[in-house]
Structure 1
Amino acid sequence: MKQITAVLFIVMSLMISAQENKYSEKEFQQKLDSIKAEGNLLYSHEIASWNSGDLMAANKKLHEIAQSYLTYKSNDTVKTVFLNKDQNLVVAEYSFKNSQRKPVRENMQHRKPNQTELNINKIRSTVISQLSDPKYEVGVPEGYNLNIIIVPINENYKVYLIPGTSQSGVIPFGNDYLFITDKEGKITSNQRFHSRLIPAFTQGENGTLTMATHSHLRTNPFISATDICTFKLYAPLTKLEEFSVYSPALGIYMKYNYKKDSIEKTKDPL
């Protein structure tokens, strides 16, 4: 029996090595660098939305007239604009650079939405109208919400849905989606990065946790851009600095540290 077990272990190890060796070290690192860049892009959008929302809420006059918001990148700046009830006027605009928490510019002068804002608002509305289709399996557990991030790619769009929560001590991994749309907002393909919500609770029975780990589906073997974005948003509210993802398809962990903005491949999550 011991010999059989040993043989099985060797076979499994060889299978894992074969899967991992599909990528050269250079290709593997390029893949991680690309994912990290996309994660940072998503984070720059979402942190701008967070900070703009706080500023809007603190402005009583603006809070009364602002009904919805759009966040998008313009050159080296990420902008969040708030629209009025009829969505025909921008009533506030906040501009951010380098994911800083304070805007480099605030504009409270009312104006008509520009073409970029009209396009993104159209894509947002069109995508949302399609999400009730059961084939996309979009749902939101109690105590959580879904935030939408829209990124233009050539004439099409990437539309991400990532979870959010107001609960303290929780990092809401999972329940994240990517939709690719045409220029009119019609969904042409979709992807789920996780099968469900995987909340990482940073307070355990034995005190504060310093590490978070979760596993990915074999169909999603790499750490995801949504993982990185979510962690960068919530980790500063905790004592965690890094998290890891286990890839059953590759037989390894990928560990991300938000202070270093680095991903490393490892056999050990700690």
Structure 2
Amino acid sequence: MKQIAGILLIIMSVLISAQEKKYSDQELKQKLDSIKAEGNLLFSHENASWHSGDLISQNKSVAGSVGTYLTYKVHDTIKTVFLNREQSLVLAEYSFKNNGTKPVKENFRQRKLNNTESGINKVRNTIIPQLSDPKYEVGVPEGYNLNIIILPLNEKYKVYLIPGTSQNGIIPFGNDYLFITDGEGKILSNQRFHSRLIPAITQMENGTTSVKTTHSHLKTNPFISATDICTFKLYAPLTKMEEFSVYSPALGTYMTYNYKKDSLEKTKKP
């Protein structure tokens, strides 16, 4: 028993030490720059998905035949393609640059999926059934949905799940996940960034509006997340908010992101 207790104490000490790691200003800046870059990448994908989804719904000749969609990056272009119900053909393709709200190119010529699209589609179809496993604790509160973003990672894939909502005056932070899969879509590891959904209310019942919002992270997740940045960039333009902050108890500091400046900095107060 003493040996077991000793081992447990060692494990706990390692965990506490990892959570309380100190970062130099340069290390912290590098970490935040990396998170911001990932958040912008996620946003570029969701931005294309959002706007192409609106466009395809208005195209009566195609919308009724669509089964699913895929969004991916090719050089400086983000493409969203819509597949038929059998997922054997691309029915429509929209190309976006510089996070534009209008595509720089549209193509409605039916074609077979290319290698990139086939790979992403295979991962999507393989991972979705796995998400019902209770060990991953993937859930969707009423009034919200989960959007999937699939990014190639060498021979593997990163699969993000981020929340979405059609409710006005809400920025849906939290309830976000990251899965690393093999090339076929089998889950190798998983991470949950927040313990729950954290809806930021931007419009109060008395008519007042919020211009800033802050939430805290657990010590096990000390940094602002790329999903936080993506979600804020999607919804903030629909509000009067320009920035949000995350407080890190593990680091004892705030991290503030401003979407108009695309700046992410360590701050003493939000």
Indicate whether the TM-score tops 0.5: yes
Q: 2:154 is matched with which residue?
A: 154
**Within 1, Cα distance between the matches of 2:189 and 2:64?**
38
Answer yes or no: is 1:192 the counterpart of 2:192.
yes
Residue 23 of structure 1 and its aligned partner are, at CA, apart by: 1.0
Answer yes or no: is 1:68 the counterpart of 2:68.
yes
Answer yes or no: is 1:98 the counterpart of 2:98.
yes
Answer yes or no: is 1:248 the counterpart of 2:246.
no
Please give the secondary structure, in 2, of the residue aligned with 1:208.
coil
Alignment of 1:1-270 (within 5 A): 19=20, 22-205=22-205, 207-269=208-270
**Within 2, Cα distance between the matches of 1:119 and 1:89?**
14
- Which residue identity is paired with 2:98? N
Q: What runs of 5+ residues in structure 2 fail to find an aligned partner? A: 1-15
**Within 2, Cα distance between the matches of 1:205 and 1:97?**
38
Residue 68 of structure 1 and its aligned partner are, at CA, apart by: 0.7
Please give the secondary structure, in 1, of the residue aligned with 2:120.
helix
CA deviation string 1:224-251 (max 9, x = no partner): 0000000000000000000000001011
Residue 32 of structure 1 and its aligned partner are, at CA, apart by: 0.2
**Within 2, Cα distance between the matches of 1:89 and 1:205?**
47
Q: 1:4 is matched with which residue?
A: none
- Which residue identity is paired with 1:122? K
Please give the secondary structure, in 2, of the residue aligned with 1:219.
coil
CA deviation string 1:129-166 (max 9, x = no partner): 10011000000000000000000010000000000000
**Within 2, Cα distance between the matches of 1:122 and 1:19?**
40
**% identity of equivalent residues:** 75
CA deviation string 1:9-39 (max 9, x = no partner): xxxxxx9xx947x211111000000000000
**Within 2, Cα distance between the matches of 1:53 and 1:176?**
21
**Within 2, Cα distance between the matches of 1:204 and 1:106?**
40
Residue 205 of structure 1 and its aligned partner are, at CA, apart by: 4.8
**Within 2, Cα distance between the matches of 1:195 and 1:34?**
23
Please give the secondary structure, in 1, of the residue aligned with 2:100.
coil
TM-score (norm 2): 0.91
**Within 2, Cα distance between the matches of 1:115 and 1:266?**
44
**Within 2, Cα distance between the matches of 1:173 and 1:92?**
31
- Which residue identity is paired with 2:61? K
Please give the secondary structure, in 2, of the residue aligned with 1:67.
strand
- Which residue identity is paired with 1:187? I
Deviates more, 1:200-209 or 1:43-52: 200-209
**Within 2, Cα distance between the matches of 1:203 and 1:52?**
27
- Which residue identity is paired with 2:94? Y
- Which residue identity is paired with 1:186? K
Residue 204 of structure 1 and its aligned partner are, at CA, apart by: 2.3
- Which residue identity is paired with 1:63? A
TM-score (norm 1): 0.91
**Within 2, Cα distance between the matches of 1:66 and 1:188?**
31
CA deviation string 1:98-122 (max 9, x = no partner): 1111111100000011111011000
Q: What RMSD, in angstroms, separates the aligned Cα atoms of the two structures? A: 1.3
- Which residue identity is paired with 1:100? G
Count matched residues: 252
Q: 2:6 is matched with which residue?
A: none
